[in-house]
Amino acid sequence: MTEELFDLVDEQDQVIGQMPRSQVHAEQRLHRAVHVFVFKTTGEMLIHLRAPDKDEQPNRWTSSASGHLSAGEDYTETAHRELQEEIGLSGELEFLHKFAACPETSFEFTGLYRLVTDDEPTFDPVEIMRGEYVTLDELQHRIETDRESFSTAFLVLFEWYCRESL
DSSP labels, 79-94: HHHHHHHHH------E
* Type of residue at 160: W
pTM, full prediction:
0.95
How many Cα atoms are found within 13 Å in the side-chain-facing hemisphere of 143? 20
76 near 14, Cβ under 8 Å?
no
- Who's near 163: CB < 8 A, 6+ residues apart? none
Phi, psi of 99 (to 5 degrees): -100, 140
Paired with 49 in beta bridges are 61, 130
User: What's the gap between Cα 104 and its chain centre?
Assistant: 12
Which helix (H) or strand (E) segment is 36 a member of? strand 31-39
Residue 166's pLDDT is what?
65
SS3 116: strand
Domain of 31 in residue numbering reads as 5-164
* Type of residue at 47: I
139 near 64, Cβ under 8 Å?
no
| Counted domains in the chain | 1
Taken as a whole, the chain contains a residue count of: 166
Instruction: Give me the CATH number covering residue 61.
Output: 3.90.79.10
49 near 75, Cβ under 8 Å?
no
Across the chain, which has 166 residues, the per-10-residue mean pLDDT values are: 90 96 94 98 97 88 96 97 97 97 96 98 95 97 97 97 86
- Output the furthest CA–CA distance in the chain (Å, rounded): 43
Instruction: Tell me how far apart the terminal alpha carbons of the chain are, to the nearest angstrom.
Output: 43
Residue 1's pLDDT is what?
65
51 near 127, Cβ under 8 Å?
yes
CA distance 66 to 83: 8
Residue 55's pLDDT is what?
79
